[in-house]
């Protein structure tokens, strides 16, 4: 039950927008949506505020007063082919570390009780060994500027919590999918819907994903749950799949047959590397498993939607938009 004023940054984005919509229909509380711009309208009980840039000099003084909880979804997000060159790390750090900490310090000074930070599984690393999932207690091993900037923000936030008493909750999601999803997941839907053959019929890996509904539900759980304070949580649907299985289940959700050619993963990666697509192939063939036992046990939380239900919802939304 939400009975406090909750501020959500990144409210114009995929996760932040869905979170605000869910909070708006949760009884007993005010919601303040913060974004650079808004592409959709929120219910009348949601207040909106615009912040053009998030960085070390951002002034949050007109937004934070009266807020009990801040949920920080805004970030410079990871992209597959970042073209920022040698300045990529500096820009990720400016937004994801320095911008986050400017907000967090001002939040603590304003009397915010709890700061929920949407981090990334990339803090743990890029890939797991089959059967050895990432856990919240593992030593971080980020491999790119985005993951490093998120790790640095996590550490700085926990230090601030110890210094000020403001509670911090950190959530590390993997790839998030749901209605309105973009990027690689959208590409998969388009390719499957066109019935284009794919050489992905025998990929023997395991990957954890998280449905938007499940992630939003966990974030809301972390607003008030006493055991969440100053903890790090991993999240997934709890139903790990191979790339081949995901494509078949997504095709079923789209109402089509998946045309998957059984090319061994090792051959696929070799050919892809020759074509300059080695990173893409590694994502398709590699494993990334997540252990959510801590999240389940400490917060008494379970995913609220199944993978197949979430895929159907995602597919139907996309089909309606065509």
Q: Which two tokens stand for residue 90?
A: 């500096």
Q: Which two tokens stand for residue 8?
A: 């959500």
Q: Is 170 exposed, middle or buried (0-12, 13-18, 19+ CB in 10 A)?
A: buried
Q: What whole-number distance in Å separates Cα of residue 290 and Cα of residue 207? A: 8
Burial 28-57 (b: 16+ CB within 10 A, else e): ebbbbbbbeeeeeebeeebeeeebeebeee
DSSP per-residue letters across 273-311: HHTT-HHHHHHHHSBB-B--HHHHHHHT---SS-HHHHH
Greatest extent of the chain over all pairs of C-alpha atoms, in Å: 58
What secondary structure letter does DSSP report for 312?
H
Report whether 10 contacts 16 (CB < 8 A).
Answer: yes
Q: Which two tokens stand for residue 127?
A: 């890939």
Catalytic residue among 89, 92, 146, 259: 146
- Catalytic residue at 146? yes
Bridge partners (DSSP) of residue 46 are: 31
Bridge partners (DSSP) of residue 31 are: 6, 46
Tokens 């990929």 belong to residue: 203
**R_g (Cα) of the chain, nearest Å:** 20
Q: Which residues are catalytic?
A: 146
């Amino acid at each position: 039950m939400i009975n406090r004023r909750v501020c959500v940054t990144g409210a114009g984005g995929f996760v932040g927008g869905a979170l605000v919509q869910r909070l708006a229909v949760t009884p007993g509380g005010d919601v303040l949506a913060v974004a650079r711009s808004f592409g959709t309208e929120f219910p009348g009980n949601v207040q909106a505020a615009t912040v053009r840039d998030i960085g070390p000099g951002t002034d949050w003084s007109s937004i934070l007063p009266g807020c009990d909880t801040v949920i920080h979804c805004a970030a410079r997000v990871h992209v597959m082919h970042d073209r920022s060159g040698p300045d990529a790390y500096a820009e990720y750090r400016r937004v994801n570390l320095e911008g986050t900490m400017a907000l967090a310090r001002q939040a603590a000074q304003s009397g915010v009780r709890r700061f929920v930070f949407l981090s990334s599984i990339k803090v743990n690393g890029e890939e797991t060994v089959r059967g050895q999932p990432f856990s919240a207690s593992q030593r971080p091993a980020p491999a790119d500027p985005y993951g490093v900037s998120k790790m640095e923000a996590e550490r700085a936030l926990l230090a601030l919590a110890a210094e000020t008493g403001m509670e911090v909750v950190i959530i590390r999601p993997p790839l998030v999918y749901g209605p309105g999803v973009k990027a690689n997941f959208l590409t998969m839907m388009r390719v499957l819907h066109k019935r284009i053959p794919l050489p992905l019929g025998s990929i023997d890996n395991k990957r954890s994903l998280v449905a938007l509904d499940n992630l939003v539900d966990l974030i809301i759980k972390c607003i008030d749950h006493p055991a969440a304070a100053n903890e790090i949580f991993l999240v997934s649907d709890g139903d790990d799949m191979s790339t081949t299985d995901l494509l078949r289940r997504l095709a079923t959700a789209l109402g089509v047959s998946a045309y998957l050619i059984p090319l061994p993963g090792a051959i696929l990666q070799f050919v892809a590397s020759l074509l300059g697509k080695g990173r893409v192939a590694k994502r398709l063939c590699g494993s990334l498993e997540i252990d959510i036992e801590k999240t389940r046990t400490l917060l008494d939380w379970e995913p609220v939607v199944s993978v197949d239900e979430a895929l159907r919802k995602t597919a139907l939304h996309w089909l309606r938009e065509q």
